[in-house]
Every structure is written in C-alpha cells, then in structure tokens.
Amino acid sequence: MTFEALVYQGLIGLSLAMYLWLLAAGLTIAFGVLGVVNFAHGSLYMLGGYFAFTFYLTLQMNFWFSLLLAAVSGGVVGLIMERFFLRFIYHLDLAYQILLTFGFVLIFADAARIFWGGIPLIPPMPEILDSTVSIVGRPFPVYNLFVIFVGIAVSALLWLLLDKTSWGETVRASASDREMASALGVNIPRLFTVVFSFAAMLAALSGALGTPVRAMTPGIGTSVIIDVFIVTVIGGLGNLPGAFVGALIIGLMKAYGVLLFPDADLFMTYLIMALVLLFRPKGLLGGR
C-alpha cells in the first residue's frame, strides 16, 4: 500500500464523511434539544436531493441557489412535521414520537415516487466543479473537494452559531435544562420548531450536496438512516463533536476498508459500532 494511495483514499473518505457529518449534525441537534430521534431524517436527505434536482435541472436555476433553496425547502418540510404533528405529542412517551417520524418515512417514500417517479434521477455536473486536480499524482475530483469544503464551512458556522451567538446560548441552555430555560422566558415551543427545521435543513443540504454525484431513487431514505444512526451511536448520542468524530471514522473506514479489506465492506461499520458499544457504551465522546 503506497503512501500516495493512502492519501488519495483518505481524501475520498473525508468527502464521504462530510455527507454523514451533515446528516448526523442535524440528527444530534434535534435530539439534543427536543429529545426526539427523527427516523425520517434520511427521508429529508432524500427530499433535499430531489428538490435540488428539480430546482437545478427542471427549473434551470443556478446551482448554488438550487443547493440553498433545496436545503431551505427541507427545512420547511421539517417545520411542517414539527409544528403540525410532532408538537402535539411531546407530552407522550418518546416511543410515540419515534413512531410518528416512522409514519413520515413511509409517506415520504411514496411521495417521492408520486412526484418524481421510480427512475433514478441525476442532473448534469455543474461546469465550474466539473474537473479534477492532481493530488499525489492522480486526478482527484474537484467536486469532492467542494463537499469537504462545505462540510468544514458548516462545522465552522455551527460552532459560531452555537457558541458565539445569544441564540446559540439559548439553544444550548434549552438542551441541557428545558424547564429552567422556559422559566427564564425562552419560548420553548417556538425554539423547538426552529431547531427541528434547522436540523431538517442540514439533512436536506446533505442530500442536495450529493445530487450531481448520487442518483436519487425513492428507496434512499430508508437506506441512509442506518449509517447516520451508527455514526451518532459511535460518537455519542446528543454530542455534536462526537457526531463529527463518528462521521470521520465511518467515512474513512469505508474508504480504507475498500482498499485494505475489499471483502468486508458492509460488516466493518457494524463491527466498529459493536466494539464501541462494548467498551464505551455511551459513545466515544460520551452522550446524554
């Protein structure tokens, strides 16, 4: 295994990790503040991809704008989910909230089929990103670098938002003690809606980001959620840096696994999860 191969594959793994990170970040934030695990998170990823396809190809909008709009649209779907459905059952057992989100998984899967059909959809690659750069002597896709850039940019934005703004402080306070925050005047219901929509937006962004390199089909929602769950379990449920670390581990492992253990791809992810659970049950960085 040459050094060049390891570097190259590592960068591939890093770009894979970014998709997972965006997904896991949303799931973690939603869980941290609302205490809900959204089974439909993967479906929001799928919708983000479909929206981006429609804006970019069908409606011929600018690519950057399509990404943003797709993310925002995902946020709107999340808003509707929270405001008109989830909100009514917060007082109930957490199990019901999970079940509600699962109902949405089923609905979104068929909705995708109704609106976009069963054929795999992929738009053209935006010209400005349609090239390669030479890395360790081999052509590396610019688009993958773009994805890495977006992932890091979002991390920075999230950090700024949560650590350096008063809104972020409110969110973190509500996450650690909901009752106290409410007693101090925070409008918890409104905060919940905003946070859930924000999380949905991140999921949709992940899906939108993938559109030029991943084809959209109605089954994507249920297949991507497993990976996200494993990432959050590894990092620690409710732990945002943990989600980043988990995404990194899984992304890199998928890339290196193909290189070093070509026969074991699928199983490696579960093996890592099982090992983490055995020795660090609360996740690598601890959870709630």
Partner 1 sequence: MKSWTALTKAGLQTRLAAAAGAALAVALLIIPLFGDYVIWLTANMLILALFAVGFNLLFSFTGLLSFGQAAFFAVGGYVCALILLAVPSLLLGVVGGVVAAGLVALIIGFLCVRHTEIYFAMLTLAFGMMIHSIIWKWRAVTGGDDGLVGVPRAPLEIPGLLSIDMADLERYYYFVLLLVVLGIFTIWRVVRSSLGLTLQGIRDSESRVTFIGLSVMKYRLIAFTIAGLASGLAGALMVPLGRSASPAIANWTFSAEPVIATMLGGAFTFAGPIVGSFLFYIIKEIVVIFTGYWMMTLGIIVLALVLGFRGGVVSVIQRQLLPLLERRRNDLGG
Partner 2 sequence: MASKSAFNRRQFLKATAGGVALAAPFIQPAQAQDPIKIGAQGVSSGSHADYGRQIQMGARFAAEDINAKGGIMGRKVEVLYRDDELINDVALKNARFFKAQGVNFMVGTDSSGVCLALGPVLPELDLIQVFTHAATEKLTEDLVFKKGIKHIFRGSVPVYQDAILPALVFKDNKDIKRIANLGADYEYGRTSWAMFHTTLKKFRPDVEIVGETWAPFFTADFTPHISALAAKKPDLIFATPWAGEAVLMLRQATTLGVFNDIRVWWQCMGGSVDVLEGISRDVATGNFKDKLWATARYIWNWPNTPENKAFVGSFSERWGRLPNYSAECTYSAIFALKAAAEKVDSVKTADVIKALEGLELSTPAGKRVYRPEDHQAVYNVPAGRVTYNKEVAPIAYLTDLKVFPASDYFRNPPFN
88 lies in the site for partner 1, by CB under 8 A: yes
**130 is an interface residue for partner 1 by CB under 8 A:** no
Least distance in Å: CB of 117 to partner 1? 12
Name the strand (E) or helix (H) holding 99: helix 94-116
Cα 38–chain centre separation? 11
Least gap, CB of 275 to partner 2 (angstroms) = 20
163 binds, among partner 1, partner 2, none (CB under 5 to 8 A by kind): none
Nearer to partner 2, 61 or 173 (CB): 61
Record the tokens describing residue 86, joined without a space. 């989830």
Comparison of 118 and 124: residue with beta carbon closer to partner 1: 118
Question: Residue 176, interface with partner 1 (CB under 8 A)?
Answer: no
Counting contacts by CB under 8 A, is residue 99 touching partner 1? yes
Structure tokens at 113: 């089929």
* 64, 65, 98, 117: which one binds partner 2 (CB under 8 A): 117
Report if residue 16 touches partner 2, rule: CB under 8 A.
Answer: yes
Q: How far is the CB of 152 from partner 1 (least distance, A)?
A: 27
Quick check: 270 binds partner 1 (CB under 8 A)? yes
Sequential DSSP letters for 2-65: -HHHHHHHHHHHHHHHHHHHHHHHHHHHHHHHH----TTHHHHHHHHHHHHHIIIIIS---HHH
What sections of 117-264 are H helices per DSSP? 142-164, 166-176, 178-183, 188-210, 220-235, 240-260
Calpha distance 86→189 (Å, rounded): 11
Q: What is the Cα–Cα distance from 241 to 32, expressed in whole angstroms?
A: 12
Window 200 to 239, contacts with partner 1 (CB under 8 A): 222, 226, 229-230, 232-233, 237
- Residues 257 and 265: their CA atoms lie apart, in Å, by 6
Q: Are the CB atoms for 116 and 207 separated by under 8 Å?
A: no
User: Binding of partner 2 at residue 132 (CB under 8 A)?
Assistant: yes
Q: Distance of CA 230 to CAs 60, 177, 242, 278, Å?
A: 36, 26, 12, 14
Out of partner 1, partner 2, none, what residue 32 binds, judged by CB under 5 to 8 A for its kind, is: none
Q: Which residues bind partner 2 (CB under 8 A)?
A: 5, 8-9, 12-13, 15-16, 19, 109-110, 113, 117-122, 124-125, 130, 132, 138-141, 143-144, 210, 212-215, 217-220, 222-224, 254-255, 257-259, 262-263, 265-266
Q: Which residues bind partner 1 (CB under 8 A)?
A: 31, 35, 37, 85, 88-89, 92, 94-96, 98-100, 102-111, 113-114, 222, 226, 229-230, 232-233, 237, 266-267, 270, 273-274, 277-278, 281, 287
